[in-house]
Structure 1
Amino acid sequence: MSPILGIVLVLGLLAALMLGVRALQQRGAVGPELARKLVHMGMGTVCLGFPAIFRTPGPVWVLAGVAVALMLAVRHVGALQAAMGGVLGSVERTSLGEVYFPVAVALAFTLARGEVAVFAAPVAILAYADAAGALVGRRWGKTRYRAVESLKSLEGSAAVFGVTWVAVMIIVGVWTPVPWPERVVIGLIMGGFAALVEAVSWRGLDNLLVPIVAVGQMRFYPQLTWPDLVGRALVMGVLVAFMLGWRKRLLDSSARLGAGLMLYLFWSLGDWRWLVAPVVLRASYTRLMPTVPGGPDRHYLGAVLCLGSAGIGWAVANAWLPGAGWLWPYTLGIATHQAIIAVVRFSQGRPRWWPGAWWAVALVQAVGVQGLLFLAVNGVDALSGWSWASGAVVVGVALAGFMVWDRNLAEPEDLYARWWRQGVTAVLASLAGLALMRP
């Protein structure tokens, strides 16, 4: 089938789906939430056929662009909002989940590189597990808990876990030679991860994070034996339990759970060396940075996501192409975060210092400690002198750029915006470090 014909076919199916759900809604047969989830499940079912329709990612990205444009138009164009808003966005919430959906599908298709199981599992989780969690929680949810933006239920989270577990086991069984004990444990791990991420979902980001991480899990986990997989499941449980009881004054419950999941992801898709940089950041925060009068602010999940912004991408890249040098740009991203946090803490704890002194001390701390421990863990031959020096320059330039971008270091006007500026700065620094890296 030609790509153009495939695009027309998919658009036709999606249009028929939305018109059908709209007709059901106008007759009073379905409510707003059920309508939205029917569209999600229908879209996901259509997307599962992409490997049979398309051979290259280009047409899938075209479809993703059309879908994103449509979602945004429905939100902001009055006529479209009146016609289709009840199908795509009638549930009142500040979320971009519908926009992330097609982007996640296109990313999964691109990263899967033709492996059906690697593509199908993330899309199935996105389409069916998320919908099951919302619908079960709404209809039968009795045991409530406080999430980032609203109350959720244990019953809904259990539905996400169960549907993900079953879907992954079926997909792994049909499209891979993995034996059944490994299938069961892979499904358990991915189901637990998806349920925990959905539990702390923030503004629909689970629609982007879960599929991208699932691509890495599906590429890496089938290579492991069941004892290795059981070990990973136990480590996930221990990390999550530890983080939920750690530093309650500094992080809220969603941020602590998110931090535990992120550490597990780094270790699970990499190895123990991927935990060194976050541990160094944590130790430096306590031991090397000045205390803040009145104590630091209590942070939420958005801060944790920004801290892990670069790391998530490099961890998935390591699962996609192991041993390709991803650990160094990952470390540079964490080092950039460390430098920015240090300069903010020095601006608050040493307000009489010249800003250049804040910059110099923060840079020496971040580059010196992170760089030396990287060499100690990986060996002096793991990194060329050029790569180390260029990495130090990148972190220094990134830190200076952040200080210019965010003039109110000690008292930010918008802490939420500050964290996202920091996340963007760290991502750009890690990308620059990768571009300048030499063997």
Structure 2
Amino acid sequence: MSPALQIALLLASVAVLLGLMAVVRALSGVWGFSSEVQRKLVHIGTGLYALTLPWLFPDRWPIYGLLGLTVVVMLVLRRPGSRLGQTLHGVERQSYGDLLLALSVGLCLFLAGDRLYLYVLPIAVLTLSDAFAALAGKAYGSIHFTVEEGQKSVEGSAVFFAITLLISFVCLMLMTDLAPLNIIVLSLMVASFGAYVEALSWRGFDNMFLPLGLLIFLTVHAEDSLADLAALVVLFALSVLAFNRVAARIGLSKHAARVYVVAVFLLLAVTEVQNAIFPLLVLGAHAWCRKATPCTAKYPDLDIVAALALVSFGWLALGNATQWNAVSFYGLTTMSLMIGLCALALTPQSLAVRIAALMAIVAGALVLRAAIINVNPAPSNWNGPIWALSMISAVGMATIPSIYPSGFVRARVTKLTLLALAIPLLSYLYAIDISGLWT
């Protein structure tokens, strides 16, 4: 297929998406669809279309172009007064689901590579299981449990589990050479893990956590033995119980504690244990910071998990895209974020205490980073230890929040994350340019 034809198909795809939204909006006026039903109908239509993308486009670049254009369209439709936008944003809660859906489709397609079941299974689950679970819960839900932004139903979660189990069976049987017994066990685990993640969703973040979580789980564990899979089930169950026991002691809600379990589980699945230390310390530093200096965020514990997920998936995708290992720069980012949170947590203390404590924290963080670098294999340290940049980033993250704490009362996690990303991201892009990627 020629590039011109693929571009034409790309533009036609956007037109089809807008047409679908217009049709759903028109039908809602006739049949009285609720905002939730409208949103899920569009969700199903776009998800089913996304499943065809690897076969519809011979090359990958038009797909990424389509997803980028879709994000632009979604942002435009978010403007107040957009009638089409009400099809997506009419539900009574703030949601980023439409934007995260496009992001997840792109990341899943990119990370799956030639193993298309890693793309098809997560997107099919997100498209069908998620939508039907929401509609079933809305129509038939009678047993509810509380999450931060409302309630979920046991009936909806049961529907999600059943549909995901069927999707997983079909995908793994048709698209892999796994043994039948492994397929059964994996499908049960995929359905259970997926239902658990979906039950924790907030602000549409299940559109990111669900497909990428399933992709990571299958990438790491699809080839595991039955004994290893059984051990994984036990480990996950123990983690859930442990977090539930300590949640109240550190000021976490039960919902936030369960989200932390998923975040820790995925961190340990996607990276070596030593490279998960700083991300885990970020969660601990945030718990301290939230208690010492509260911010205006409605759900700060969930915000930090979302930020960690975006940073983790972003560095993973960037490293895969450039073929230059990004683990060291990811570690620098999370180290800097941890220091920034500690700096804010110390602001109620006297100046002398703050300076002494921050010096100790920065020194300890740099020593820990040195230990992690020594443990990591050589390909992870291709750019050296970058001590100068590490010290600049660490000192900057300790200083800026300390001098200007009032600037981090609103959108704290977003601001600290962007600040922590600045030096690692710029230095990474510069390093791969010097190493000849762009020349």
Q: Do Structure 1 and Structure 2 share a fold, with TM-score over 0.5?
A: yes
Closer/same/farther in 2, CA of residues 15 and 309 from structure 1, 3 Å limit: closer
Partner of residue 122, structure 2: 122
Partner of residue 138, structure 2: 138
Q: C-alpha distance in 2, partners of 1:406/1:186?
A: 45
Question: 1:12-411 alignment to 2 at 5 Å?
Answer: 12-28=15-31, 30-76=33-79, 78=81, 81-82=82-83, 84-248=84-248, 249-278=250-279, 297=294, 300-313=301-314, 327-353=327-353, 355=355, 357=356, 359-372=358-371, 375=374, 378=376, 387-388=384-385, 390=386, 392-403=387-398, 405-406=400-401
Closer/same/farther in 2, CA of residues 284 and 43 from structure 1, 3 Å limit: closer
Q: Which runs of 5+ in 1 are unaligned?
A: none
Identity across matched positions, percent: 22
Deviation of the 1:141 alpha carbon: 1.6
Question: 1:395-434 alignment to 2 at 5 Å?
Answer: 395-403=390-398, 405-406=400-401, 412=406, 414-415=408-409, 417-431=411-425
Closer/same/farther in 2, CA of residues 17 and 284 from structure 1, 3 Å limit: closer
Deviation of the 1:186 alpha carbon: 2.5
Closer/same/farther in 2, CA of residues 312 and 11 from structure 1, 3 Å limit: closer
Q: C-alpha distance in 1, partners of 2:180/2:289?
A: 53
Q: C-alpha distance in 1, partners of 2:380/2:69?
A: 43
Q: Which runs of 5+ in 2 are unaligned?
A: none
Deviation of the 1:244 alpha carbon: 1.9
Closer/same/farther in 2, CA of residues 412 and 256 from structure 1, 3 Å limit: farther
Conservation of the 8 A alpha-carbon contact between 2:290 and 2:300: no
Deviation of the 1:316 alpha carbon: 7.2
Q: C-alpha distance in 1, partners of 2:332/2:290?
A: 29
SS at match of 2:145: strand
Deviation of the 1:197 alpha carbon: 2.6
Q: C-alpha distance in 2, partners of 1:347/1:361?
A: 15
Equivalent residues, number: 424
Please provide the CA RMSD for this pair.
3.6
- CA displacement 1:67-122 (0-9 Å, x = unmatched): 223322222163xx23x244322222211111222222122222222432122122
Conservation of the 8 A alpha-carbon contact between 1:133 and 1:159: yes
Closer/same/farther in 2, CA of residues 353 and 44 from structure 1, 3 Å limit: same
Closer/same/farther in 2, CA of residues 432 and 69 from structure 1, 3 Å limit: closer
TM (norm. structure 1) is 0.82
Conservation of the 8 A alpha-carbon contact between 2:303 and 2:413: yes
Query: Which residue identity does 1:221 align to in structure 2?
Result: H
